[in-house]
Chains A and B, each alone.
Chain A
Amino acid sequence: MTRFASAFSKGPALVAFITAGDGDTAANLDALVAGGADVIELGMPFTDPMADGPAIQAANLRSLAKGTTTADIFAYAAAFRSRHPETPLVLMGYANPMTIRGGDWFAAECQKAGVDGIICVDIPSEEDPELGPALRGAGVDLIRLATPTTDAARLPDVLNGAGGFLYYVSVAGITGQQQAAQASIDEAVAQLKAATDLPVAVGFGVRTPDQAAQIARVADGVVVGSAFIDIIAEHGDNAAPHVEAFTRLLADAIHGAKEIAA
């Protein structure tokens, strides 16, 4: 069983996002695992994060201002993998830093560092040759995004070549802003689950344990990012205990939602 399959087999999963190089990354990653996060998304900072709201934009700039490089990110990933052999690790970011040395180079580095999957915001299925074949060849899952604008006609293209889990972007918008109406999430998740065997995780705008629990009733995973970024922005290099405490609140809410539903 892959790390993803294992992580999603235990019931609804907490998928936690932080930006690499923002704050004490290694300590924050450990705090996420200790607090009960099931899947980790590590953001690759980019100068031009077009799909992100103010919180993650600022995290990108803080990280780059400290001089974070792609080599640093793979070093974080490899060290994480040696400390946490079980927890799936995803790199999430934008096309240019991922493809600048070629898709094959990036896929090989992911494989070496023990990265399980990749989310690339600005490579839709139409541009799959840029990165998809290289990742699949290296055994790294390409995690695709579905959105409220992804209609039934497009969905098969989005799913073709997808792996790991399906990330449902619940609002047409940017990260960390408004939350979608629960009814629309329920409906969308049901449609996606009917179309794929991949676990479906829901993200964008999820900030509180209550929101997360609501989503966890129907989805296989809940993605939380900007709320963690806010904690790191507030506490800087000493954020880990706060990150762990908040992770525990979210994880309890999400994991408990399954028991109530059952």
Chain B
Amino acid sequence: MTHAPDSLRTGSAPQANSLRHQPDSRGHFGQFGGRYVAETLMPLILDLERHYRAAQQDNSFRAEFDYLLKHYVGRPSPLWFAERLTEHLRASAGEDLGAKIYLKREDLNHTGAHKINNCIGQILLAKRMGKTKIIAETGAGQHGVATATVAALFGLPCTIFMGAVDVARQQPNVFRMKLLGAEVVAVESGAKTLKDAMNEALRHWVANVHDTFYIIGTVAGPHPYPELVRDFQSVIGIEAREQILEAEGRLPDMLIAPVGGGSNAIGLFHPFLDDEGVEIIGVEAAGEGLDGKHAASLAGGRPGILHGNKTYLLQDEDGQITEAHSISAGLDYPGIGPEHSWLHEIGRVRYEPVTDAEALASFQKLTKLEGIIPALESAHAIAAAERIAPTLGKDKIIIVNCSGRGDKDIFTVADALGVEL
């Protein structure tokens, strides 16, 4: 048994024609995924895969991962029945309409988002492979902070690549990373945002493959990254499944999660992919609208090759990558994880766009109704839930991934609302 998607933590056993057996042995999810990297990196990618397969079979690896998730990250994260949001939406819905909304509280994790789950898993792999230096890319800085955090915990030197534009607009996170002991490299190439940070991290990695581990922050990049990041994040869905069974005695009718690269979403979705009764919605950032600047790779892009994998990308007719835009820096990426592209094409997951304005409204609404300040990423999922819940019966159940907390976004939100801090 070399290929067990859920070997880290076991959910329900995958069925014979399961949707949970992806990717294939070459890292492909249907036509997506793969290993589109320079030859210099190829041997390292193969080595990483070998080590990951061994780790999957190693009880001590799983035990250490679980221990850190419980005692350091603070898992399990609660599944919160958002009663006031539910009632608020029912008030304007028709009779017997208004599904019950639960929030999976990834915002309560250490460092304030789901990102840490994956960083814990990858730094354990780095240690296992004998790598002594850590690098990562970051956009808004959440993955950078999570990576700097685990690097501090394990005492490994850490370099974070961040676009110069993002460095300028995310100063609190830059300072956090520095406090944690990381070096932050402001990337001046290209558009100076997340994709350029990823380019620069790859350039650094290719020159330092012998001692450096690259902790990729989302379910993208060359195989086996999309698979292993998904497996580390699947703890979200595995817990949610147990928690909803305990609270309601049955599975939910719908899952909703925001999708940039898509790691929190795949983490929630994957353990439910074989449950036919569970409808699954991924929410893409529609920015200023799909006819304007946006970051909705599935709605507004087409398949192409970037950063080691084939997936839907925002690009022009010559295959040049175009700039993404979202008010949420975490969704501001011109691509999406390859497994999402596959789930989109086979129709298992429906992807819907939510604009900056809708996310901003939901950010405020959730804060006032539930006393929970969601990340702007998560606010996109809340907005989709607000749209859908009133169309479903009162007996229906929706789980929304509250993937992160919104403290990091207060400056952006204040700016958008015309408030000076």
Q: List 14 A-B contacts (CB under 8 A).
A: A48-B196, A52-B203, A64-B320, A99-B319, A100-B315, A122-B36, A122-B305, A124-B36, A130-B305, A147-B40, A149-B41, A154-B43, A171-B207, A172-B207
B40 touching A96 by the CB < 8 A rule? no
Q: In the complex, A13 Cα to B319 Cα: how many Å? A: 33
Inter-chain contact B36/A172, CB cutoff 8 Å: no
Query: How many cross-chain pairs have Cβ atoms below 8 Å apart between A and B?
Result: 114
Decide if A96 touches B306 in the complex (CB within 8 Å): yes
Contact A96 B207 (CB under 8 A): no
Which residue on A lies nearest to B313, using beta carbons? A96
Distance in Å: Cβ of B149 to nearest Cβ of chain A? 27
Cα distance A90–B190 when bound, in Å?
25
Proximity string of chain A (41-84) to chain B, C-beta cutoff 8 Å, 1 when within and 0 when not: 00000111111111001000100100001100000000000000
In the bound assembly, the distance between CA atoms of A173 and B206 in angstroms comes to 5
Interface size on A, residues (CB 8 A): 44
A145 beta carbon closer than 8 Å to chain B: yes
Number of interface residues of B (CB under 8 A): 35
Residue of B nearest to A124 (CB): B42
Q: Is A48 a contact partner of B199 (Cβ separation < 8 A)?
A: yes
Give chain A residues whose Cβ lies under 8 Å from the Cβ of B41: 149
Chain A 191-221: CB-based contact to B (< 8 A → 1; otherwise 0): 0000000000000000000000000000000
Contacts of A61 in B (CB 8 A): 190
B36 touches A51 (CB 8 A): no
B317 partner residues in chain A, CB cutoff 8 A: 100
CB under 8 Å from chain A, chain B span 12-60: 26, 34-44
**B392, CB-defined interface residue at 8 Å:** no
| A158 in contact (CB, < 8 A) | yes
Chain B interface residues toward A at CB < 8 A = 26, 34-44, 189-190, 195-196, 199, 202-203, 206-207, 209-210, 304-308, 313, 315, 317-321
A259 in the interface (beta carbon within 8 A): no
Can you name the residue of chain B whose Cβ is closest to the Cβ of A173?
A: B207
**Interchain CA distance A92-B50 in the complex, whole Å:** 31
Is A245 an interface residue when CB atoms closer than 8 A count as contact? Answer: no
Alpha-carbon distance A231/B36, docked complex (angstroms): 31
Whether B36 lies near A123 (C-beta < 8 A) is yes
**Which B residues touch A145, using CB under 8 A?**
38-39
CA distance A52 to B190 in the complex (A): 12
- B209/A51 in contact, CB under 8 A: no
Give the contacting residue for B40; candidates A64, A127, A172; CB below 8 A: A172
- By Cβ-Cβ distance, the 5 closest A-B pairs, closest first, are A100-B319, A173-B207, A96-B319, A95-B305, A97-B319
Q: Which residues of A contact B307 (CB under 8 A)?
A: 48, 50
B321 nearest CB neighbor, chain A only: A47
What residues of B have a CB within 8 angstroms of the CB of A49 in the complex? 199
Tell me if B37 and A122 are in contact (CB < 8 A): yes
CA–CA, A52 to B207, complex, Å? 11
A residues within 8 A CB of B209?
A: 149, 172
Name the residue on A nearest B191 (C-beta): A47
Q: In the complex, A177→B204 CA distance in Å?
A: 12
Is A140 at the interface (CB under 8 A from chain B)? Answer: no
- A172, B206: Cβ atoms closer than 8 Å: yes
Residues of A within 8 A of B189 (CB): 54, 57
Q: Report the minimum CB–CB distance from A71 to chain B (whole Å).
A: 8
Given contacts A57-B189, A99-B305, A127-B34, 12 further A-B contacts (CB under 8 A): A48-B196, A50-B203, A51-B38, A96-B321, A100-B315, A100-B317, A122-B305, A147-B40, A149-B40, A150-B39, A158-B39, A173-B203
| Contact B190–A121 (Cβ < 8 Å) | no
- Is the Cβ of B36 less than 8 Å from the Cβ of A95? yes
